[in-house]
Structure 1
Amino acid sequence: MRDGTGTQKLSGQVAVSRYNPNMYRVAAIVLLIMLAGLQYRLWVGDGSLAQVYHLESMRGQIAKVNARHRARNEAMQAQIENLKSGLGASEARARAEMGMIKPDETFFLTVPGKESAPAQTTEDASGRSANAG
């Protein structure tokens, strides 16, 4: 016979309930273990918040270095274009860096005199000047 509750009553037998408390405990433990594993991965594991923060700071540093390199590259590109475009830039660079002069030019080198250069004296342990003798 069946009654309205969905349990079947047989003569002398007790109906077995589908509710099993041990099964719910096992399910709760499994869910807690899964939650703990996900929390571990969030805070400590691969792709954690600390690692994301570290990668973002590295990205900022790399962006700064790239900006410096980009500016340097643009300056070098402008210098290359200037050297390709005219003779004046290459001549000025040769004069400044290598001391080159034209064939019909006269080069004068001025050396500072003794009175314009400051005298360098060293003192020994007794306080006497080494240049004084």
Structure 2
Amino acid sequence: MRLVTLVLVALLALVHAELWFGSGGVSRVVDLSTKLRTQRAANDTARERNARMTAELNDLKEGLEMVEERARFELGMIKPNEIYVQLAAPQR
């Protein structure tokens, strides 16, 4: 009975040693968790930067369209090879 207990305690010690000091042990998990947090922070920063750049790009695209529209309506500008037709509302 005593021998069985000693063998079981030895096996338990071996399992714990592997848990704490092995290749998949606690120190490796802590190290990977730290790296994961760092990478997630970098990903969040990159996502925010990409969102800002996308918003800026959309503003530039819409801005050019707005400039063109304003030039056409307010200044009567036309593109080359384009025919400009203006319809007036009938007078009553």
Query: Which interval holds the TM-score relative to the shorter structure?
Result: 0.5 to 0.7
**Which sections of structure 2, spanning at least 5 residues, go unmatched?**
72-92
Question: Which one scores higher on RCO, CA 8 angstroms, separation ≥ 6?
Answer: 2
Q: Between Structure 1 and Structure 2, which shows a larger proportion of helix residues?
A: 2
Q: Where does residue 43 of structure 1 map in the other structure? A: 27
Which one has the largest radius of gyration?
Answer: 1
CA distance in structure 2 between the aligned counterparts of 1:75 and 1:66, rounded to whole angstroms: 14
What is the Cα-based RMSD across aligned positions, in Å?
Answer: 2.1
Query: What TM-score, normalized by structure 1, do the two folds share?
Result: 0.45
Query: What TM-score, normalized by structure 2, do the two folds share?
Result: 0.63
Note closer, same or farther for the CA distance 1:89–1:31 as it changes in structure 2 (3 Å cut).
farther
Instruction: Note the alpha carbon deviations across 1:18-71, whole angstroms, 9 max, x for none.
Output: xx1111000001111111122231113xxx101110110111122112211210
Moved over 3 A (4+): none
CA distance in structure 2 between the aligned counterparts of 1:66 and 1:30, rounded to whole angstroms: 48
Q: Kindly state the Cα deviation for residue 88 of structure 1 after the two structures are TM-superposed.
A: 6.1
